[in-house]
Each structure stands twice: as C-alpha cells, then as structure tokens.
Structure 1
Amino acid sequence: MKISTLNQTKQWLKNSKHPVAKKLFAQLKALLNFELPVPQLLCRAFYGLYVFMRTLFSTFTRLFFWTPLFKGRLQKMGRHLNLYGGLPYISGPLSIEIGDNCRVSGQSTFSGRSSTATQPQLMIGNNVDIGWMTTIAVGSRVVIADNVRIAGRTLLAGYPGHPMNAQARAQGLPETDCQVGDIILEKDVWLATGVTVTAGVRIGHGSIIAAGSVVTKDIPAMVLAGGIPARVIRALKPSGDK
C-alpha cells in the first residue's frame, strides 16, 4: 500500500499541471542534480589518488592472493605468469599446464568434462594471452600453442554439456562421445572478440579469426577467416612481406 501511494505521488509530481506540483518537482530535480563546487585541480588529485590506491590493491592481491591460489591448481606452470582481475573459475577434473610469460584474465572460466574415463587436458604454451570473460570447455584436449592471442568473450567449446536427444537432456544425462573433440590452436593464432570454436577444430598457425565468428571446421594456416560458420576470406602474407 505504501509503495502504491509513493508511486502515485511520484506520478502526480511528474505529470500534474498544478503549480504546487510543478514547483515541488523542480525543487526535487534540483536536489537530485546537486553537486559540490570542487575545483578541477582537486578533482584530478582525488582521481589520481583513487587510481593509485586501486592499482596498489590490485597488485597486492594479484601477487599475494590470486596468483598463488591459481598456481595451486596447475599441474605445470611456467615463469612470469600475469594473472589479472581475480581468480579464474575452474570446474571439473581438468589438468592445466601453462608455459612462460602468459597473461590470463581472472574473469575467465576453465572447465573439464566430468563424464569421461580420461582426464581432460588444457595445454597452454608460452607468451599466450587469454582475455576477459573467455570460456574454455575441455572435452578431451585443448592445445593453445605459443604466441596465441585470445580476445574477450571467446568460447572454446570442446564439449557441449548436454546431449542432442531431448529426453536424455530432461533426464540430466551428459553429452555423448560423438559430441566431444579436441581443439588445437597452432602458433601465432589470433581469435578476435566473441569468437566461438567448436569441438574437433584445428586452426593453422598464424591465422586470424574475425570478431563474432563461429568456427566449426578446420582453418588452414596464414589466412583471415570469419563469418557464421567461419570461412576463409583471404590469405595473409608472412611476417616481413609487404
């Protein structure tokens, strides 16, 4: 009842033509838009202090909390891991190996298929970037070779999590083995923002996948591919060629 009365009052203030309602509405709007007359120099100083404190806190938690926790979950780890933005969510019986000089967003998800006799394996090479909100679902094996770049909101779907049959899904049964496959990203591959790679796909070295693409079949080396499903758009020149 009180909420209804409050809403009615708000509507009356906004829509009424009565002079009192108009005056009250103008005063309330001015109150909501009130701001302190702070000099620009002081605002910049406050913002600089905020950025400094935020960076200090982020660095401290990364070095002494998130990174040690993450390393405790790895089967093999290289040197100079840069884990930023928190701790990735890891689920399932997943074996994870990471090489040297990798950068991994803490806002990412790594999962391993649980309905399998063999342990799923995620193998990450050297100098690899894994961006914000990336999900890597390992059905059997996902290999990310050296110098691969994976932009934000990318999905590597090595297994779907549910069977194709509706009755089996309703019963809570897992996916079938035919829905599961390896994903191989060879050296120097770049997956742009929002790319999805499905099970059983290999992307050849140096290839680039355009943003928002869905890769359902193998992509050869040194090409630009894109679309749904992804197709080769053109060949890429080797490094050093003009």
Structure 2
Amino acid sequence: MPSLRATVKHSNHWAARLLRGAVYGARNFTLPVPRPVVVPLVKGFIALRAVYYWLVRVFVCEPFFKAQCARYGDGVRTGTFLHWIMGAGDIVVGDRVHVEGKVSFIFASILPERPRIELGDDTYVSHLCTFIAARRITVGRHVHIANGVTIFDSPGHPLDAERRTAGMAPDPEDIRAVCIGDKVWIGTGARIFPGVTVGEGSVIGMGAIVTRDVPPYSLAAGNPARVIRSLRPARDGHDAPTLPATTIATHP
C-alpha cells in the first residue's frame, strides 16, 4: 500500500492540495527585516561572540597549549580550539608563533631519545595541520603552513608485512628527521615525508606530496613533488615567469 505521504503528495483531492499548499507556504515563509531593529541585534550578537571567543582563547586554549610545551616564547597565540596533543614528547615554540584552529601534535615513543617538535619565531600554523614525530620535526622562522598540512618523520609501521602484523615498530633507519627552513610557505593539504629538508624561502604547492629535499628558494608541486622553477631573480635582473595562481596554494 502507498504510504500516507505518497498519497498526499500525488492525490488531487482538495484536502491533499490544501495540505501541500500549507507545507509549501510554511517552507517558504519569510519575515520582513526592519533594519533599525535587527541590525543592532546582529551587531550586539557579533560583539558578544567576539568577547566569548576572546575569553576562551586567552583563558582556556592558550594556557592549555602553553602548559604542554617544553618551552615557549613571547606572544604565542592559539585559536579557539584545544589542540590535540598525544604521546610523550617536547614541543618547543619560539616568539610570536600563531597556532590557529585545531592542530594535532602526535609523538611516537619508538627511539631511546625523546621526540621533539620545534616551531620557530613568527611562524603561522593553520587549522587541521598534523605533526607526527618519532625523532624530530624542525620548522624554521617566518614559516607559513596552510590548512590540512601533514608533516611526519616516521612511516608509523614497518614495511615488512610480518613485522607489521605482529605490531612491531618501524625500523629506526626509516625514522628520519624533517627540517623546514626559514621563510617557507607550505600550501593547503601538502604532505611532507620523513627525511625531507625544505630549503629556505621555498614554496610547496597545494596538495604536494614531498618525498625528496627541496632546494632553497624553489617552487615545488605535484605528486610526487618536483621543483617547477627557482624563485630567485633571473640573471638578467628580471624575475622568472609567473606560474598560474592555481599552482600555488593560498594561505589563510
């Protein structure tokens, strides 16, 4: 038997048509907005929201993050989320570092030495970034890291299937430190693999899979990432040709 809803939807009976009209009217009903009344209410709501999130950031989120840092500098800021910090390791943060949104710091205690994540002065880390350290991840000064970037120094599991099935840790030689140089810009969704060094002043494109070192002042993009061109001025004094904007990920 057809359901009541299907009957009402397809019936030509006056009651069904009346009900369909009432539902349509309710779904499309709107009220006029008297601006002298509504605009002050909206501005008041926005002001209260700003105060609320300021209080959450200053008195909850930033103290929570700083309390879990081995050392932090002056002017360190967070967003209005509690960062996800898991495992035993050291977070060392320089001056004026801004860790926005919700960022994950994950430590794997595999090696004898304590794992470490360092963020240099004036570095900006955006929402949903992930740092996974079993040895060491070093991020330089004035680095911009866009949304959803993952940087890890360990594969997490052994390559050998039997060892992986047995729940064993990866081989120590597969755990290799990652170094991000000063003034680097890493685009949205990029992945920086173990052992990679990104040279000073380089740009990593959106979604790039970086498995090899990137020379200083280079633009790298793709899967796997390759150097597209140098970012240094050409020998004749003119800058190198500009690539399309879609090649480079935007920074928040």
TM-score norm. by structure 1 comes to 0.89
Tell me, yes or no, if structure 1 residue 85 matches structure 2 residue 80. yes
| Aligned counterparts of 2:112 and 2:17: Cα–Cα separation in 1 | 72
Contact 1:158–1:180, Cα closer than 8 Å, also in 2: yes
Check whether the contact 1:88–1:105 (CA below 8 A) recurs between aligned residues. Answer: no
Q: Any stretches of 5+ residues in structure 2 without a counterpart?
A: 240-252
- The question of 1:208 aligning with 2:203 is answered yes
Q: Alignment length, in residue pairs?
A: 236
| Cα offset, 1:26, TM superposition | 2.2
Q: Is the 8 A contact 2:189 2:208 kept in 1?
A: yes
Aligned partner (choices 11, 16, 19) of residue 24 of structure 1? 19
The structure-2 alpha-carbon separation of the partners of 1:45 and 1:219, relative to structure 1 and needing over 3 Å to count, comes to: same
Whole-Å separation in 2 of the counterparts to 1:28 and 1:75: 60
The root-mean-square deviation of aligned C-alpha atoms, in Å, is: 2.1
**Structure 2 CA distance, aligned partners of 1:168 and 1:47?**
59
Does the CA-based 8 Å contact 2:56-2:80 persist in structure 1?
A: no
- 1:119 corresponds, among 114, 131, 139, to 114
> CA offset at residue 53 of structure 1?
1.2
Gaps of 5+ in 1: none
2:249 corresponds to which residue?
A: none
Q: Measure, in 2, the Cα distance between the counterparts of 1:10 and 1:139.
A: 58
Question: Could you tell me how far apart the structure 1 residues matched to 2:229 and 2:189 are?
Answer: 20
Q: Secondary structure at the match of 1:172?
A: coil
How far apart, CA to CA, are the structure 1 residues paired with 2:41 and 2:74? 36
User: Aligned partners of 1:169, 1:13: CA distance in 2, in Å?
Assistant: 58
Q: Which residue of 2 aligns with 1:136?
A: 131
Select 2:37's aligned residue among 42, 57, 61: 42
Q: Identity rate of aligned residues, in percent?
A: 29
> Which amino acid in 2 is paired with 1:105?
E
Q: TM-score, normalised by structure 2?
A: 0.86
The structural deviation recorded for 1:241 is: 7.3
